[in-house]
Structure 1
Amino acid sequence: MVQAKTVGWWGSRSALGVLHRVATYSFAHTLVPTYECFNRCTYCNFRADVGQSPWLSLEAVERQCERLRQKGVCELLVLSGEVAPHSPRRADWVNHIYQICELALNAGLLPHTNAGPLSRDEMAQLQRVNVSMGLMVEQVTPTLLDTVHRHAPSKRPEVRLRQLVQAGELGIPFTTGLLLGLGETETDWIEALQAINAIHRRYGHIQEVILQPHSPGQSQAQPGLALTETALASAVGLAKEYLSSDIVVQIPPNLVSPRGLLACLEAGARDLGGISPVDEVNPDYEHPHPAALEAAIAPAGWQLHPRLPIYPQYDSWLPVSMRSRVQAWRQRLSTIAV
């Protein structure tokens, strides 16, 4: 007989009373409004030059959203390249992302946007059609501005951290994270984690911190070495030490082996992010299917549970219209059985 399960962040107890450890993930789809980006990070496998990536049409978005809803996809991750802050096309770009998120909401999906650093007004505009938002801090050491971020104006640490502050001021549930293996040191990791945590202590809005290991791809401008899985597990341990206990540590499961994934879970990671058919940021690394992930972690006593792109403690931050959509999804997930 199928037994219902009770979901929790740190563990669950089945109907038979057996304690299990839980890792979460979001059933997601990544939609890219445009790949064009004015930054030129040397490790990027995502960007295109201006004029080389037509903007995704709203008609195509509407068709995709309907198909995704039918497949049971919950989260629409709107992940965009960056139009330069002073470009005459900037306002149109933000409005285009707004319309995409609005279509997703109307289709019953829950949008989460990561479109690079935004102004406070731009964030407030997109807040109206997103249940959560995100931006990777990557690293706060300025030394990378002389190397991998030499031609990436929006990767200045103060710009990235300002985004976290603005999200806190606006009351936006937020995801951020570190990109590891760019040439930074472990001390740099600690400083970045401390900077994120200091902002979270003021506003309490950071849901997750992603620890993303640099994984070389075929399209990046300069070759680089992959971060070792031992180093990644060590970074997870540091995150657990320097971040507040209510911030969940996330690991991209397509960038680690099953053994490395288990090591990260044992070190304190508890989330595997949005599982989508394609990892747009790391297209050379295919996402595993949730069933395959569950099979990989189950022998060590772990269960894999779906979650929403907004964590429960932030539901009350949403306007009533979006809150009702989120609650409908929570009810739907609560009926999932094992």
Structure 2
Amino acid sequence: MSDKIFVEKLVKKFKNNNQFEIEELNNINEISNKNLNLLSNFIFQFTRNSFKNITFSKNIFIPITHLCRNQCSYCGFREEPSKNGQILMKIPKIKKLLEKAKKFDCKEILLTFGEKPEEKYPELHEELIKMGYNSLHEYHLKICNMALEMGLLPHSNPGLLTIKELENLKEVNSSMGLMLESSSKRLCEKGGPHENSPSKIPEKRLEMIEHAGNLKIPFTTGILIGIGEIFPERVASLIEIKKLHEKYGHIQEIIIQNFLPKEGTKMENMKPIPIEQLIRTIITARLIFRDSMSIQVPPNLTLYNLDEILQVGINDLGGISPITLDEINPEMRWPSEEELKKICQRNRLKLKARLPVYPQFINSEFVSHKILKIIESY
């Protein structure tokens, strides 16, 4: 079958709302660039008809601690305890950041830290006890409540959590997140990027996303591409996410995040993934999720190719901060809201701010009374 006929077949199945075979999705990686353009043009028109605007959430990024029990080969966020003893962001600094968020009209407070750091670093637990907290989870809840008291909306991404921790955090979060990254067990094997990362075992991450679904927590997840996975593994990861969303209906957005090498990591000499591969993955995600899902690409990681990416199948640019760095990729500055407006305008698109919880989840089933009250006050 020629590429052109294959693309026509994909479009016809999509229009008829037929399910794609896994082999068909895998073969998107084999389409020539010329015929890929035919598919991307169709996907662009579908996305624009389904999602009228390109959305983003104005936020601040608060890394409660950079300590982490995982040692992912590509990660630049994780740090060992510093010599000056600063292993935890303290309340006075957090309060100042929250005040800045109010001043700059940021609604979202992105709270994150390394996975289960107390298990690896007893000094963190000792520090928390000195401060009057029994656990990092308890401290995290305190910070969420501080944000709520100031009329701000927490979105927490703290790694793997127990069901009880998820229940507690649902009360004080507008939404939560956990990147699946990849459903490939192969990446956890010796020599893989997740070899020394017990929290990156796919079953554990899928289990937590499922627990969040059981609890009806509006949820963000996604995949990290370019870390050694192959295209069919990306397809498999997206399908696993779709299965959970079809079962629970709680996933509000999928992030397609491109890997960028970080100096000082094991993968510092690995080449970034080609933009063409990112585009093929976005197209595949839109074919899988159709109009049921917001698909997001971080603009600071793709700024020089954003015009091209906006012409594919995304409808969201995620959290953007006028105040804080992207702590995961601190070397990649956030584009300003004005910059993004101009990029959208030249692509005949409209940029629109959103909340960290999507409209379809703003109800008492998915968010607490505390959260609803704050949203109603805007």
Which of the five TM-score ranges fits, normalised by the shorter chain? 0.7 to 0.9
C-alpha deviations, 1:124-175, integer Å up to 9, x for none? 1111110000000000011111211110000000011011101000110000
State the one-letter code of the partner of 1:82: E
Contact preservation (8 Å) 1:139, 1:192:
yes
2:158 match: 115
> How many pairs align?
313
Q: Which residue of 1 aligns with 2:99?
A: 66
Output the CA distance in 2 between the equivalents of 1:29 and 1:129.
17
The one-letter amino acid paired with 1:262 is D
Q: Secondary structure at the match of 2:66?
A: coil
Report the equivalent of 1:296.
Answer: 343
Could you say which residue in structure 2 is the equivalent of 1:54? 87
Task: Provide the alpha-carbon RMSD of the alignment.
Answer: 2.0
CA contact (8 A) 2:282 2:314 kept: yes
Separation in structure 2 between the aligned mates of residue 210 and residue 231 of structure 1, nearest angstrom: 15
Q: In the alignment, what sits opposite 1:100?
A: 143
Aligned AA (2:63): V
**CA distance in 1: counterparts of 2:216 and 2:194, whole angstroms:** 29
The answer to whether the 8 Å contact 2:55/2:354 transfers is yes
1:96-138 Cα shifts (integer Å, max 9, x gaps): 1111111011111110000111111111111111000000000
Structure 1 unaligned blocks of 5 or more: 1-8, 13-19, 330-338
Q: Tell me by how many angstroms 1:327 deviates.
A: 2.5
Equivalent AA in structure 2 for residue 60 of structure 1:
K
In structure 2, which of residues 157, 177, 185 is the aligned counterpart of residue 134 of structure 1?
177
Aligned to 1:307: 354
Structure showing greater Rg = 2
Report the alpha carbon displacement of residue 243 of structure 1 after superposing the two structures with TM. Answer: 2.1
Counterpart mapping for 1:196-235 below 5 A? 196-223=241-268, 224-235=270-281
Whether 1:36 and 2:67 are equivalent positions in the alignment is yes
- 1:262-299: CA deviation from partner (whole Å, max 9, x where unpaired): 32222210000000241110111111001001112211
**TM-score, normalised by the number of residues in structure 1:** 0.88
Q: Give the aligned residue type for 1:126.
A: L
The Cα of 1:10 is off from its aligned counterpart by 6.2
The answer for the alignment partner of 1:275 in structure 2 is 320
Mean Cα displacement is larger for which, 100-109 or 236-245?
236-245
Segment of structure 1 superposing worse, 64-73 or 131-140: 64-73
Say which of 274, 286, 296 aligns to 1:250: 296
Q: 1:154 pairs with 193, 199, 211, which one? A: 199
Question: Tell me, what secondary structure is at the counterpart of 2:247?
Answer: helix
Q: In structure 2, list runs of 5 or more residues that go unmatched.
A: 1-45, 129-133
Secondary structure at the counterpart of residue 116 of structure 1: coil
- Corresponding residue for residue 266 of structure 1: 311
The residue aligned with 1:180 is: 225
Give, in whole Å, the separation in 2 of the partners of 1:274 and 1:257: 14
2:187 paired with 1:144: yes
Match of 1:5 in 2: none
Whole-angstrom distance in 2 between the partners of 1:238 and 1:81? 30
Q: Deviations over 1:3-56 (max 9, x none)?
A: xxxxxx9669xxxxxxx9520000010001100001000100100125665211
From 48, 53, 65, give the equivalent of 1:22. Answer: 53
Q: Describe the shift of the 1:326–1:10 C-alpha distance in structure 2 as closer, same or farther (beyond 3 A).
A: farther
What is the CA deviation profile of residues 76-97 of structure 1, one whole-angstrom value per residue up to 9, with x for unaligned ones?
0001112247567396111111
Match of 2:212 in 1: 167
Give structure 1 regions of 4+ aligned residues with deviation exceeding 4 angstroms.
9-12, 50-53, 84-88
Q: Match of 2:55, SS?
A: strand
CA distance in 2, matches of 1:292, 1:219: 31
Counterpart of 1:129 in structure 2: which amino acid?
A: V
- In the alignment, does 2:368 pair up with 1:319? yes
Percent of aligned positions that are identical: 32
Matched to 2:96, the amino acid is R
Could you tell me which residue of structure 1 aligns to residue 116 of structure 2?
83
1:225 maps to a residue whose letter is K
Contact 2:170 2:368 in 1 (8 A): no
| Whole-Å separation in 2 of the counterparts to 1:150 and 1:85 | 20
Counterpart secondary structure, 1:273: strand
Cα separation, 1, equivalents of 2:226 and 2:140? 31
